């Protein structure tokens, strides 16, 4: 019977230590992020964002906050969505919400 540790090690294809899947840093306080049912292991939030945060389809910046989902994809904010010709009502980004 496999021990929990063996299962864990197998799952992340690592040998005994927790290592970040982005930079490979072996760090005992690595944390797991589940996305679409898949587990990912990181040593820091920066690596998690690098690997998992979606990119704005107009400017390419990584969407770390709520972003704006519109027809065609995700944008970093309503500005980018409008620049791409999205006119449908969309959820306002936090920065624009505070200005109105």
In the complex, which residues of this chain contact Zn ion (CB under 5 A)? 20, 22-23, 25, 43, 47, 56, 58-59, 76, 80
Quick one: 23 or 90, whose CB is closer to Zn ion?
Answer: 23
> Cβ 45 to Zn ion, closest distance in Å?
10
User: In this structure, are residues 94 and 65 in contact, taking their beta carbons and an 8 Å threshold?
Assistant: yes
Q: Which of 51, 92, 57, 88 has its CA nearest to residue 72? A: 57
Q: Is 39 helix (H, G, I), strand (E, B) or coil?
A: strand
**C-beta of 9 vs 49, nearer to Zn ion:** 49
Q: Which is nearer to Zn ion, 20 or 70 (CB)?
A: 20
């Amino acid at each position: 019977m496999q021990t929990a540790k063996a299962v864990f090690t197998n799952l992340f294809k690592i040998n005994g230590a927790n290592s970040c899947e982005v930079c490979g840093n072996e760090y005992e306080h690595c944390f797991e992020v589940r996305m679409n049912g898949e587990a990912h292991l990181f040593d820091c939030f920066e690596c998690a964002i690098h690997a998992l945060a979606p990119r704005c389809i107009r400017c390419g910046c990584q969407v770390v906050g709520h972003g704006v989902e519109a027809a065609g994809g995700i944008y970093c904010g309503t500005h980018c969505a409008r620049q791409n010709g999205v006119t449908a009502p969309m959820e306002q980004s936090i920065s624009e919400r505070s200005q109105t």
